[in-house]
Structure 1
């Protein structure tokens, strides 16, 4: 376990490597990743970031730079980094202090450069050329990632990722309360637990609207105010397209659409309303126009889309259960690797609002089971590679609890083929759960976030707690088994860069101990 001094050291090491405080426009985190908004991504020293102790990998996605640090550590490093950014901002606002000017001239506060050593070649040109090449490669990768689809998915993730801690906490309490109600225990406490667990979900539209406006460049509180219309009881007296609206109709999709409309109206007003009237007219017009647009258009449309999502999920599992589970379980690890899995949060949230649980999350959770099975197989195969085995031992507990990034970036992805066999294990586990869903045994989760063993307290279904838990456990065991067997049979038993299974290894590079994130040599996935 890292010491308390490790987190400030990690933050201090990362700050200059990502271009300094002036280059960071935002700093947030999800369960495992530090998510940095950067003014100029080309200023990042990516190899330096990978080499920082504690960094498990990096994911670049346009303007968002994600540093994988693992659960627990990421929250502490983010807090330290935010403190450093606040100190840097305060120092910049205060202005520089007095500086000394060297007697020999030169820039204030700097020492004159040392004379070059006799016969030494000047390094400036070589360093400049290497820097230019590196900047060009980073710019090319940024252009590849800057597609409209990826930009939209990234923004959607930015809206919902900050909500995950509340979704987890309230989901756990809802599951605990359900167990108490079913068992008939503590009847005096369960109404209070119901209120505590349900309060956030009742007002989640407001939080979604607030975050949407913040992410898309509007005033956050105006986005929240317009989204609050979606859940207000008074909408039950409004009729749109011949249909009487219901509070909450459209759910988080309606709230996001309402906030986006509010952002558009606010921007239109900012460019046309005189400065002297801006503080009065712009908020009023934003709430009025966006609020009426929400009531007489967006809530109806978003309600139709939300219903379609629920019906599609039901049809998918009832009609093509094993196939749907195989595809979803097999493809989820690549989504996690690319950082695109957060874009599924609106679907989960919509299903939870409609049905009380999301049937997609248990299927996707099987990817983590395949990853665990693959990691255990690598551990068995690489008997003499102490570095790989040490990495697996440290990352495996998090993997069992459904946090897959440490195993992805530390073990399976650098080795290449184990990443593919882990996907095979996830596909098998997903097919198992999907098969029972087709038979009528639905397995869902009441909250978003945890998976693996940590999902058991959040399970819900239509057959009761024990059958639901049994189906989910069977899926996990299937994922473990297929992930292990496929990896054990297909992995040659040596890390990239080795001379043989019993010979010296390049394990520091193979395990991602220096932050390696890409597959190497012949083990690279196709």
Structure 2
């Protein structure tokens, strides 16, 4: 019966929009089927609104048919299944009546598709674009780094035992097999990076892999080398390293795209790859390798010099400043640096030092746990985040505990600096591969120096603990009646005191604000469906630029939008709450949204569940207003708290009583 209802709604929507032939593309968000319509004159708006199961219709950049959460994904899938495409794919030109479209109508259909695609593109600064590209190139390789690195570490330990005579020579073949596996990753890393770089920059992946392989100079004998055109010295295999490969493949992508434009289609498959490989191959070997070789060698040498000369001081500065770098996204540039150091020296001394930043967070969290033991909300959050923090996953502690409180984040960074000083002072401590941090990094520490790394971890734990225990605990956090302290200063909270309603101890029948910001009347929301509260009783908040996203209830996450712009919860009291972040932000396809929860997760009211770059969302042209909607509000008597202006994550915005 349920499937019949879905099929009926899908069929009736098509009937009232002029059929599949009048749809260029179809996607959905958490509540709406969104269609790019070719000819709006063929759409029967009243017919759409009168469909049993349709809650409302919005005519905007796309035609949006509201069918509600839980139903929308089924209806949208049924609609694209009828056409034979996937969600978001262009509808075929010969579907239904499209085979009879005139040239003008075909152009208009294509224009509508392009317009929708362009609107979804985000605006980025060049620096952010570069850092994002670097991240996209290396993230898929991290499991390989970890696996091959650990295997190589075990092989090194067994090799030492073999040389010392502690194990028999029968282990030799097994050790060789492990080294072959390790070398399968690191010896041909340039090829993998070339392929991933091509995928990122829009070049043919196979061509990118060949350019990466060219830097390894296959087939060149030491007795007959190629020479550096700048100094006459022999080129070395791998010279220029990963940095050179990324740059060369980027240039390859530019040339290949131009060649596709210039070369006739009939010979494009033959001519374009041949010319592209020949030109970029020569360019890479004779220009990129010598120049990038100097850059990478200088970079590695400079870092080694800083660590050798600066010692403990350099370690302190790097350990203390790493988390602020993470917050600004600058840490992504370190990945190719780590890899270059591993390629040239067999290890990266930077990673163990930077890992101390997370250890400082662990020490700070333990101090907060002890000092704020009466604040059950805070201690519950710490208990949930601490185990993974010890293993090197620091985001829950950073964004859920120390950063919202302010001072503990600073004292935790000091703890990270202390651990970094120990690592830098001891020296010669490095990681043979990149990937984890915290305790999980111990197996990847270069042979014989893992104990020094453990000393660094302990120093960071103790440093973060002491600095936080004595100097980093806000008074508000100690008070068991207060929620986790906001990042606002005392003066800001005092100015807002009159406008913020009672900060009460939460019960299961209350909904709190999903973001910090300014409450606004729901009927002033730019989206007419949301303004009319069609999907349920709602509260709207214009978020502050630095506001995280908070869970409005204690309960479970029921769903998370594929594009991360909406989260659905069910509270312990049975309220079904949809948090919708921004208007039409589904078009951003997840850009600027970074959520840390998934369906099935248990959350606590006020817990940070993600972050959004509200500034970039606004720059992209989208309204950032965030709504908390009780989608089953017909089951409750809902009392909205009146006269809200400035709201915090602990501010109660709605109370519910089960309907009789």
RMSD: 3.2
Q: 1:29 matched to which residue of 2?
A: none
Q: How does 1:265-304 map to 2 (within 5 A)?
A: 265-304=255-294
TM superposition shift of 1:157: 1.3
Encode CA deviations 1:82-115: one digit per residue, 9 max, x unaligned.
x99x9995356696999xxxxxxxxxxxxxxxxx
Q: 1:490 matched to which residue of 2?
A: 471
Q: 1:158 matched to which residue of 2?
A: 136
Q: 1:189 matched to which residue of 2?
A: 174
Establish whether residue 229 from structure 1 lines up as the match of residue 229 from structure 2. Answer: no
Establish whether residue 459 from structure 1 lines up as the match of residue 445 from structure 2. Answer: yes
Measured in 1, the distance between the counterparts of 2:237 and 2:192 equals 16
TM superposition shift of 1:291: 0.5
Q: 2:393 matched to which residue of 1?
A: 403
What TM-score comes out, normalization by structure 1 length? 0.68
Residues matched between the structures, number: 392
Structure with more of its chain in helix, by fraction: 1
Q: 1:69 matched to which residue of 2?
A: none
Q: How does 1:462-473 map to 2 (within 5 A)?
A: 465=448, 468-473=449-454
Q: How does 1:78-477 map to 2 (within 5 A)?
A: 90=86, 146-184=124-162, 185=167, 186-236=171-221, 237-241=225-229, 242-437=232-427, 442-460=428-446, 465=448, 468-477=449-458
447 and 490 in structure 1: CA distance in 2 versus 1, 3 angstrom threshold: same
Any gaps of 5 or more consecutive residues in structure 2?
1-27, 37-60, 63-76, 97-118, 486-511, 513-549, 552-603, 613-646, 649-660
> Counterpart of 1:402 in 2: which secondary structure?
coil
TM superposition shift of 1:18: 11
Is the contact made by 2:260 and 2:268 (CA closer than 8 Å) also made in structure 1?
yes
Mean alpha-carbon deviation: is it higher for 337-346 or for 413-422?
337-346
> Counterpart of 1:240 in 2: which secondary structure?
coil
403 and 246 in structure 1: CA distance in 2 versus 1, 3 angstrom threshold: same
Measured in 1, the distance between the counterparts of 2:389 and 2:33 equals 33
Measured in 2, the distance between the counterparts of 1:19 and 1:277 equals 45
Measured in 2, the distance between the counterparts of 1:18 and 1:153 equals 33
Measured in 1, the distance between the counterparts of 2:280 and 2:181 equals 31
> Counterpart of 1:269 in 2: which secondary structure?
helix
Encode CA deviations 1:220-246: one digit per residue, 9 max, x unaligned.
221111111012432453223212212
Q: How does 1:68-87 map to 2 (within 5 A)?
A: none
TM superposition shift of 1:310: 2.0
Measured in 2, the distance between the counterparts of 1:21 and 1:218 equals 31
Mean alpha-carbon deviation: is it higher for 395-404 or for 379-388?
379-388
Measured in 2, the distance between the counterparts of 1:368 and 1:200 equals 28
Measured in 2, the distance between the counterparts of 1:195 and 1:19 equals 53
Any gaps of 5 or more consecutive residues in structure 1?
1-14, 24-41, 44-82, 99-138, 522-526
Q: 2:635 matched to which residue of 1?
A: none
Measured in 2, the distance between the counterparts of 1:304 and 1:93 equals 46
> Counterpart of 1:233 in 2: which secondary structure?
coil
Measured in 1, the distance between the counterparts of 2:379 and 2:385 equals 10
Measured in 1, the distance between the counterparts of 2:212 and 2:437 equals 30
401 and 483 in structure 1: CA distance in 2 versus 1, 3 angstrom threshold: same
Structure with more of its chain in strand, by fraction: 2
Establish whether residue 16 from structure 1 lines up as the match of residue 110 from structure 2. Answer: no
Q: 2:560 matched to which residue of 1?
A: none
TM superposition shift of 1:356: 0.6
> Counterpart of 1:515 in 2: which secondary structure?
strand
> Counterpart of 2:453 in 1: which secondary structure?
helix
Measured in 2, the distance between the counterparts of 1:343 and 1:235 equals 32
Encode CA deviations 1:189-215: one digit per residue, 9 max, x unaligned.
100000011111111101111111211
Hey, which bits of structure 1, 4+ residues long, moved more than 4 A? 17-23, 86-89, 91-98, 493-496, 506-512
298 and 494 in structure 1: CA distance in 2 versus 1, 3 angstrom threshold: same
TM superposition shift of 1:515: 2.1
Encode CA deviations 1:129-148: one digit per residue, 9 max, x unaligned.
xxxxxxxxxx9xx76xx322
Is the contact made by 2:377 and 2:483 (CA closer than 8 Å) also made in structure 1?
no
Measured in 2, the distance between the counterparts of 1:252 and 1:22 equals 43
407 and 92 in structure 1: CA distance in 2 versus 1, 3 angstrom threshold: closer
